A and B are shown apart, each in its own frame.
Chain A
Amino acid sequence: MKLTNAQIAWRAAQDIEDGAYVNLGIGFPEMVAQFQPSGRAAIFHTENGILNFGEAPPAGEEDWDLINAGKKAVTLKPGAAFFHHADSFAMVRGGHLDVAILGAYEVAETGDLANWSTGPKGVPAVGGAMDLVHGAKRVAVITDHVTKDGKPKLVKRCSLPLTGVGCVTRVYTSLAVIDIVNARFVLREKLPTLSLDELQALTGAELLVEGGIINLNVPEV
Chain B
Amino acid sequence: MDKIVANLAEAVAVVEDGATVMIGGFGGAGAPIELIHALIDRFRATGSPGRLTVINNNAGNGRIGIAAMIDEGMVAKMVCSFPRSSDPRAFTEKYLAGEIELELVPQGTLAERIRAGGAGIPAFYTPTSYGTELAAGKPVAEFEGRSYVQERWLKADVALIKAELADNHGNLTYRKAARNFSPLMAMAARTTVVQAHAIVEPGDIDPEHVVTPGIFVDHVVKVAEAAQEEALIRQGVEYA
- Interface residue ranges, A against B (CB under 8 Å): 46-50, 63-67, 71, 82-86, 88-89, 92-93, 112, 122-131, 134-135, 161-165
For A91, the closest partner residue in chain B by CB is B108
Per-residue CB contact flags for chain B residues 101-129 toward chain A (1 = under 8 Å, else 0) read 01011111111101100000000001111
Judge if B184 is at the interface, Cβ distance under 8 Å. yes
**Across the interface, do B177 and A65 meet the contact criterion of CB distance under 8 Å?**
yes
Closest to B85 in A: A71
Question: Known contacts being A65-B175, A123-B88, A126-B81, is A85 close to B181, with CB within 8 Å?
Answer: yes
Check if B91 is an interface residue, CB within 8 A of chain A.
yes
Contacts of B45 in A (CB 8 A): none
With a CB–CB cut-off of 8 A, which chain B residues contact A129?
A: 106
The answer on a CB contact under 8 Å between A86 and B127 is no
Given contacts A123-B92, A130-B132, contact A82 B177 (CB under 8 A): yes
Interface residues of B (CB under 8 A from A): 26-30, 57, 81-86, 88, 91-92, 95-96, 102, 104-112, 114-115, 126-134, 174-184, 211, 228-231
Kindly state the separation between the CA atoms of A125 and B88 in the bound complex, as whole angstroms. Answer: 12
Q: Is the CB of B104 within 8 A of A125?
A: yes
Q: How far apart are the CA atoms of A67 and B229 in the complex, in Å?
A: 13
Set of chain A residues within 8 Å of B182, measured between Cβ atoms: 84
Q: 20 A-B contacts, Cβ less than 8 Å apart?
A: A48-B26, A64-B230, A64-B231, A65-B176, A65-B178, A84-B111, A85-B108, A85-B180, A85-B181, A86-B115, A89-B112, A123-B83, A123-B91, A123-B102, A125-B82, A126-B104, A126-B106, A126-B107, A126-B134, A163-B132
Determine the chain A residues whose CB is within 8 A of the CB of B128 once the complex forms.
93, 130-131, 134
Q: How far is the CA of A197 from the CA of B221 in the complex (A)?
A: 68
Q: Which residues of B contact A65 (CB under 8 A)?
A: 29-30, 175-178, 228
Min C-beta distance of A219 to chain B, whole Å: 34
Chain A residues near B83 (CB-CB < 8 A)? 123-125
Contact for B230 among A71, A88, A130, A131, CB less than 8 A: A71
CB closest chain-B residue, reference A131: B108
Q: Is the CB of A85 within 8 A of B111?
A: yes
Given A50-B177, A126-B81: A86 in contact with B112 (beta carbons within 8 A): yes
Cβ-defined contact, B180 with A128, below 8 A:
no
A61 CB, nearest partner CB in chain B, Å = 13
B136 to chain A, nearest CB (A): 11
Which residue of A92, A161, A165 is within 8 Å of B133 (Cβ)?
A: A161
In the complex, the answer to whether B109 meets A131 with C-beta atoms within 8 Å is: yes
7 smallest beta-carbon distances between A and B, as pairs: A89-B108, A131-B108, A165-B131, A85-B111, A64-B230, A128-B107, A134-B127
Task: Enumerate chain A residues within 8 angstroms of B130, measured Cβ to Cβ.
Answer: 164-165
- The chain A residue sitting closest to B211, CB to CB, is A84
| Chain A positions within 8 Å of B111 at CB level | 84-86, 88-89
Q: How far in angstroms is the closest Cβ of chain B from A177?
A: 26
**Taking A126-B82, A127-B81, A131-B107 as contacts, is the C-beta distance between A161 and B179 under 8 angstroms?**
no
| Chain B CB within 10 Å, residue with most, of A65, A67, A93, A125 | A65
Closest Cβ of chain B: how far from A68's Cβ, in Å?
Answer: 8
In the complex, are the beta carbons of A84 and B180 less than 8 A apart? Answer: yes
With the chains together, A216 CA to B92 CA distance in Å? 43
Per the bound structure, the CA–CA distance linking A123 and B96 in Å amounts to 8
Specify which chain A residues have a CB less than 8 angstroms from the CB of B105 in the assembled complex.
Answer: 126
Q: Report the separation of the CA atoms of residues A88 and B179 in the bound assembly, to the nearest whole angstrom.
A: 11
Q: Which residues in B have their C-beta under 8 angstroms from that of A131?
A: 106-109, 128
Query: Bound state CA distance, A67 and B176, in angstroms?
Result: 9
Q: A71-B230, A165-B131 are in contact. Are A66 and B177 (CB under 8 A)?
A: yes
A130 touches B26 (CB 8 A): no
Alpha-carbon gap, A162 to B136, bound state (A):
12
Known: A67-B28, A123-B83, A125-B83. 11 other contacts (CB 8 A): A46-B177, A66-B176, A85-B180, A89-B107, A123-B88, A123-B96, A126-B134, A128-B107, A131-B128, A162-B132, A165-B130
